[in-house]
Amino acid sequence: MKRFKRFAEAVLERAVIDLLKPIAEDRKKTQEWITAYKWIFDPEWPSILKFETCCDALNINPDEMRATLRKACYDKKLAKEILLRSKKAEDISKELEEEEK
């Protein structure tokens, strides 16, 4: 179960990064963004591993997570805050700091 939790966490984290990074950086939305958006917000999106399954494995309420991510899709500051909390925050924060200079 530990391995699955780590896997679910990595998948969820990647999706959040793919979803929010273009918003935080004011960049064009990519195919990765589209895929992440559909995986998170469309429960019928065909996928072997569902968003809800990842959330359940990590004891996260998927509806609350979606609500927060939906807000972040329209709020650059919130998108940056969420990205900076991720494990890959060091890489992302360097990029965001360079952009703000």
What's the rounded mean pLDDT across residues 47-72? Answer: 95
State the pLDDT at residue 65: 95
Range of the domain at 17: 2-95
CA distance 65 to 67: 5
| Cα end-to-end span (Å), the chain | 43
The pLDDT > 70 percentage for the chain reads 84
SS3 state of residue 43 = coil
pTM attached to this predicted model: 0.81
Predicted pLDDT at 74: 94
User: What's the mean per-residue pLDDT of the chain?
Assistant: 87
The answer as to whether 100 is a domain residue is no
Whether 101 is covered by a domain: the verdict is no
**Structural domain tally of the chain?**
1
The answer on pLDDT for 64 being more than 90 is yes
Residue 101 pLDDT level (bands cut at 50, 70, 90): low
Residue 52 placed within a domain: yes
In a domain, 12, yes or no: yes
> Which residues have C-beta within 8 Å of that of residue 20, sequence separation ≥ 6?
69, 72, 73, 79, 82, 83
Q: Per the structure block, which two tokens stand in for 82?
A: 């969420």
For the segment 70-98, the average pLDDT, to the nearest whole number, is 77
**Residues 6-53 pLDDT 10s:** 999 999 999 999 999 999 988 998 999 999 999 999 988 898 899 999
43: in domain: yes
CA distance 40 to 70: 10
